[in-house]
């Protein structure tokens, strides 16, 4: 029991560890987490409330629990799926822990506990608004509230089982392959996309099924078996159903530990032993510019680090996915010219958010790890480091912006000015996020980590960048949703895009000035 407690403590402590140990840093971390949580809770709460209002007119407001749970589950799965890779596989402490007399199941359980807390955080901020909205619309009962609160702690157990199983499948399938890192990333992104599709289709299907048969759809019962008993427990105040909910999640917990323990060593042994010793083509000695070499190096790190790649590229993939989704929705619903402009607005603004929220530059210093210190000893000018990190960030996303815009405007043709402004809004938000991300990573670097998930997903720079970009990109979206009619009729969408573009240019100018005036000092301080 002692090793388990010790290991769990270490992993949880590492999850919140940052290079800068000042109290102010911890405060900033907590503050940015709260800002992100509040923005998500407010956004979700608002959309759940609107939906519950509509459902209340037909007396089905309780369905908000199902919609909320499906959305929360799928978001959590999406976030945890690729994080699990970093938690369990190819971690820096694998050799050390393997040499100690500690059972594999103990190591797995300790890692599971630390990932559980992260999962619990994500799940709570996604499900909480649904519970609040539900209790606004239905009479409050003590047992229902109690069941809801307890369910917050148990629901992540089943979700962790699903992400653990998917991670095991992906790694077992790819660990012995030649280009395992890239294939692993492709598999992870495919599963993540499938999850997004399930969110979109699942909510629609569950509502249709409930209205036609009064029952929860069969695929929800199969994929998320804990959901129907939880729904019944809260709605009907059924203790028996609540016990069933607990049993399913506890069983899921046991299965997750068992399956991960059984495969943990096998997968890690494959991953550590299957490094190719083959020559990669002939040797070339072609001189290149320093910035070019630095960008190439950054891309090599990105491509070969699945957690990093998926974390950064998922926004770009979602941009393309939503471009298709919005365009198809507008086409299928036979949208009029002004209705189509709403879809154009949503595509431009939400697209800007998707490509800006997790910029690679926000963790590009972190993923260098201790190699950054060697880099610092080389005669590379700070401006070259800045240029390379920004170019890398922009190049990683630019093709996706082009593809998404070509697809969207091919399906929803509009005038050239709107297309140009839509592109400008997305590109400037991309520049802005790259600059903000790099600046914050210089301010909050995390060079010592035991798994790459820590550097990518649990770093202060990523959280603060997310919070700032949520504000910069979320504000125009909220204004557009609230005042769509006024914007489209009195202001015209072109003018609205132009205002957003000017706002981003202004913010970009300020952040570039800060980066150039303070960045070098921050870079020198990293040690």
| Helices within 237-380 (DSSP H only) | 239-273, 290-303, 306-332, 337-356, 371-376
Segment contacting other proteins (CB under 8 A): 239-247, 300-308, 486-494, 505-513? 300-308
Residue 450 tokens, joined: 């035991």
- Give 266's Cβ-side CA count (13 Å radius): 11
Binding mask 119-158 for other proteins (x = CB under 8 A): ----------------------------------------
Among 212, 284, 415, 517, binds other proteins (CB under 8 A): 284
Choose one: 110-118, 283-291, 403-411, 460-468; the region binding other proteins (CB under 8 A): 283-291
d(CA 454, CA 247): 32
Tokens linked to 117: 């807390």
Long-range pairs, 192-198, Cβ under 8 A, ≥24: 192/78, 192/81, 192/82, 192/310, 192/314, 192/317, 193/317, 193/321, 195/74, 195/77, 195/78, 195/81, 196/74, 196/78, 196/318, 196/321, 198/74, 198/223
Residues that contact other proteins, how many (by CB under 8 A): 39
**Segment lying near other proteins (by CB under 8 A), choices 70-78, 276-284, 358-366, 400-408:** 276-284
| Member of 6, 215, 339, 370 binding other proteins (CB under 8 A) | 370
Is residue 189 within 8 A of residue 310, CB to CB? The reply is: yes
Residue 425 CB, shortest distance to other proteins, in Å, is 34
Does residue number 289 form part of the binding site for other proteins (CB under 8 A)? yes
Per CB under 8 A, the list member of 278, 489, 490, 517 interacting with other proteins is: 278
Neighbour tally for 409: CB within 10 Å: 19
Q: Please identify which residue in the block is written with the tokens 């309780």.
A: 62
Which of 24/277 has CB closer to other proteins?
A: 277
- Answer for which of 33, 38, 290, 481 binds other proteins (CB under 8 A) is 290
Q: What is the CA radius of gyration of the chain?
A: 24
Which letter does DSSP use for residue 177 in this model?
S
Which of residues 13, 176, 221, 371 is near other proteins by CB under 8 A?
Answer: 371
**Closer residue to other proteins in complex, CB, 194/373:** 373
**CA 437 centroid distance within chain:** 15
* Residue 15 vs 304, nearer CB to other proteins: 304
By CB under 8 A, name the one of 300, 329, 420, 510 that touches other proteins. 300
**% helix, strand, coil for the chain, step of 5:** 80, 0, 20
Task: Decide: is 379 part of the binding site for other proteins (CB under 8 A).
Answer: yes
Of the residues 59, 281, 334, 413, which one makes contact with other proteins according to CB under 8 A: 281
Nearest distance in Å: CB 449, other proteins:
14
283 in contact with other proteins (CB under 8 A): yes
Closest separation between CB of residue 288 and other proteins, Å?
Answer: 5
Region of 298-306, 312-320, 344-352, 433-441 interacting with other proteins (CB under 8 A): 298-306
The residue (of 298 and 341) whose beta carbon lies closer to other proteins is: 298
When the beta carbons of 247 and 300 are compared against other proteins, the nearer one is 300
Binder among 304, 414, 450, 492 for other proteins (CB under 8 A): 304
Angle at 256 between CA 252 and CA 262, to 5 degrees: 145
Q: Verify binding: residue 280, other proteins, rule CB under 8 A.
A: yes
> Does residue 499 bind other proteins (CB under 8 A)?
no
Report the nearest approach of other proteins to the CB of residue 523 (Å). Answer: 11
- 266 lies in the binding site for other proteins (CB under 8 A): no
Count the Cβ atoms, other than its own, within 10 Å of residue 496: 24
Least distance to other proteins, CB of residue 286, Å: 6
Residue 275 interacts with other proteins (CB under 8 A)?
yes
The C-alpha atoms of residue 354 and residue 335 are separated, in whole angstroms, by 24
Residue of 393, 399, 416 lying closest to 312 (CA atoms): 393
Please, are residues 445 and 19 in contact by the beta-carbon 8 Å criterion? yes
- Give whichever of 28 and 291 is closer to other proteins, judged by the CB atom: 291
> Does residue 26 bind other proteins (CB under 8 A)?
no
303: contact with other proteins by CB under 8 A:
yes
- Asked if residue 178 binds other proteins (CB under 8 A), the reply is no
Rounded to whole angstroms, how far apart are CA atoms 81 and 256?
A: 13
Measured torsion, CA atoms of residues 469, 406, 491, 46, in degrees rounded to the nearest 10:
-50
Distance of CA 52 to the CA centre of its chain: 26
Who contacts 400 (Cβ-Cβ below 8 Å, separation ≥6)?
313, 316, 317, 319, 320, 355
Q: How far apart are CA 371 and CA 269, in angstroms?
A: 25
Q: Binder to other proteins among 13, 176, 331, 525 (CB under 8 A)? A: 525
Interaction of residue 286 with other proteins, rule CB under 8 A = yes
Residue 273 binding other proteins, by CB under 8 A: no
Decide if residue 285 touches other proteins (CB under 8 A): yes
Q: Does 1 bind other proteins (CB under 8 A)?
A: no
Residue closer to other proteins (CB basis): 265 or 297:
297
Q: What three-state secondary structure class fits 82?
A: helix
Least Å distance, CB 174 to other proteins, is 16
387 binds other proteins (CB under 8 A): no
CA distance 459 to 25: 11
What φ, ψ does residue 47 adopt, rounded to 5°?
A: -70, -35
What is the maximal distance between C-alpha atoms in the chain?
74
Q: Which positions touch other proteins (CB under 8 A)?
A: 275-290, 292-293, 296-297, 300-301, 303-305, 369-371, 373-374, 376-381, 524-525, 527
């Amino acid at each position: 029991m002692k090793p388990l407690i010790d290991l769990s403590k270490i992993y949880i402590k590492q999850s919140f560890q940052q290079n800068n140990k000042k109290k102010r840093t911890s405060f900033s971390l907590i503050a940015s987490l709260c800002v992100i949580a509040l923005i998500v809770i407010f956004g979700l709460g608002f959309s759940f409330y609107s939906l519950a209002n509509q459902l209340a007119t037909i007396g089905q407001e309780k369905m908000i629990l199902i919609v909320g749970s499906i959305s929360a589950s799928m978001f959590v799965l999406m976030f945890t799926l690729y994080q699990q890779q970093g938690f369990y596989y190819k971690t820096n402490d694998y050799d050390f822990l393997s040499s100690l007399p500690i059972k594999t199941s103990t190591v797995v359980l300790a890692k599971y506990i630390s990932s559980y807390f992260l999962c619990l955080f994500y799940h709570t901020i996604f499900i909480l608004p649904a519970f609040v909205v539900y209790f606004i619309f239905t009479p409050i009962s003590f047992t229902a509230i109690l069941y809801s609160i307890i369910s917050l702690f148990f629901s992540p157990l089943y979700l962790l089982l699903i992400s653990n199983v998917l991670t095991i499948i992906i790694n077992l399938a790819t660990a012995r392959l030649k280009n395992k890192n890239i294939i692993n990333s492709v598999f992870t992104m495919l599963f993540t996309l499938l999850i997004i599709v399930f969110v979109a289709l699942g909510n629609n299907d569950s509502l249709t099924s409930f209205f036609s048969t009064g029952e929860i759809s069969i695929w929800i019962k199969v994929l998320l078996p804990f959901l129907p008993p939880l729904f019944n427990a809260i709605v009907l105040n059924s203790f028996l159903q609540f016990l069933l909910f607990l049993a399913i999640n506890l069983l899921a917990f046991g299965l997750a530990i068992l399956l991960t323990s059984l495969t943990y060593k096998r997968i890690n042994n494959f991953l550590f032993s299957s490094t190719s010793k083959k020559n990669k083509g002939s040797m070339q000695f072609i001189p290149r510019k320093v910035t070019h070499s630095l960008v190439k190096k950054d891309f090599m790190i990105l491509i070969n680090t699945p957690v990093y790649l998926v974390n950064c590229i998922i926004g770009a993939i979602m941009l393309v996915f939503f471009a298709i989704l919005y365009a198809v929705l507008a086409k299928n619903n036979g949208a009029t010219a002004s209705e189509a402009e709403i879809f154009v607005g949503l595509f431009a603004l939400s697209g800007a958010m998707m490509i800006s929220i997790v910029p690679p530059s926000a963790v590009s210093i972190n993923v260098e790890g201790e190699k950054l210190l060697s880099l610092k000893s080389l005669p590379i000018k700070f401006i070259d480091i800045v240029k390379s990190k920004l170019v890398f960030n922009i190049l990683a996303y630019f093709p996706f912006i082009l593809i998404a815009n070509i697809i969207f405007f091919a399906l929803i043709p509009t005038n050239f000015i709107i297309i140009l402004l839509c592109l400008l809004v997305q590109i400037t938000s991309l520049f802005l996020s790259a600059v903000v991300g790099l600046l914050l990573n210089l301010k909050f670097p995390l060079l010592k980590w035991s798994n790459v998930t820590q550097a990518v997903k649990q770093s202060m720079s990523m959280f603060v960048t997310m919070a700032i970009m949520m504000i910069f990109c979320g504000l125009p979206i909220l204004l557009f949703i609230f005042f769509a009619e006024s914007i489209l009729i009195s202001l015209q969408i072109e003018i609205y895009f132009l205002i957003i573009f000017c706002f981003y240019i202004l913010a970009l100018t300020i952040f570039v000035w800060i980066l150039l005036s303070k960045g070098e000092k921050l870079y020198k301080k990293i040690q």
